[in-house]
C-alpha cells in the first residue's frame, strides 16, 4: 500500500488561478478545490493546463501559493506546491486540521 507524505482532506474551496509569462500575469481562471494536503491539492479547473506548468493558486481563507501541475484527467488537475514558505505551510496545515476527517487513502 502506498504511504503518502501528507494526509489528504476533502474540502470545498473556490480557487482562482493565475498563469504567468515571463513574470507577468497573462491569464486568470477559476476552479474548485476538492482535496487539500500540505503538499498539494486536487481541483477542477476552467483553463486547460499542461503537466509541469507552474501557476499561482489563490484559495480564500487559506493561501496564495505557487503550484506545479503534476497530473490531470479531463478538467481535474493534481497540483504540487512549490516555492512554499513556512507561513503558507502553517496556513494550509491549520485549514486542513480544522476539516472533519481525512479523505480515505486509495490503493
Mean pLDDT (whole number) for 78-97 = 92
> Higher pLDDT residue, 24 or 107?
24
Beta-carbon count within 10 A of 61 CB: 8
| Residue 21 confidence (pLDDT) | 78
Q: Rounded to the nearest 10 degrees, how much is the dihedral formed by the CA atoms of 88, 94, 100, 101?
A: 70
- Nearest-angstrom CA–CA distance, 56 and 16: 8
Residues 39-82 have pLDDT tens digits of 999 999 988 999 999 999 999 888 899 999 999 999 999 999 99
Domains and CATH numbers, the chain: 9-23+34-97 (2.40.10.220)
- Nearest-angstrom CA–CA distance, 10 and 105: 11
| Residue 99 confidence (pLDDT) | 85
pTM of the model: 0.85
**Spatial CA neighbour of 77 closest among 57, 101, 97:** 57
Amino acid at each position: 500500500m502506498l504511504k503518502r507524505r501528507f494526509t489528504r482532506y476533502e474540502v470545498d474551496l473556490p480557487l482562482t488561478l493565475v498563469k504567468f509569462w515571463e513574470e507577468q500575469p497573462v491569464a486568470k481562471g477559476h476552479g474548485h478545490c476538492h482535496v487539500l494536503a500540505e503538499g498539494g491539492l486536487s481541483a477542477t479547473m476552467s483553463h486547460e493546463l499542461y503537466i509541469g506548468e507552474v501557476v499561482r493558486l489563490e484559495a480564500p481563507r487559506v493561501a496564495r501559493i505557487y503550484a506545479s501541475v503534476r497530473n490531470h484527467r479531463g478538467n481535474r488537475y493534481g497540483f504540487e506546491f512549490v516555492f512554499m514558505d513556512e507561513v503558507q505551510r502553517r496556513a494550509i496545515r491549520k485549514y486542513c486540521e480544522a476539516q472533519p476527517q481525512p479523505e480515505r487513502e486509495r490503493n
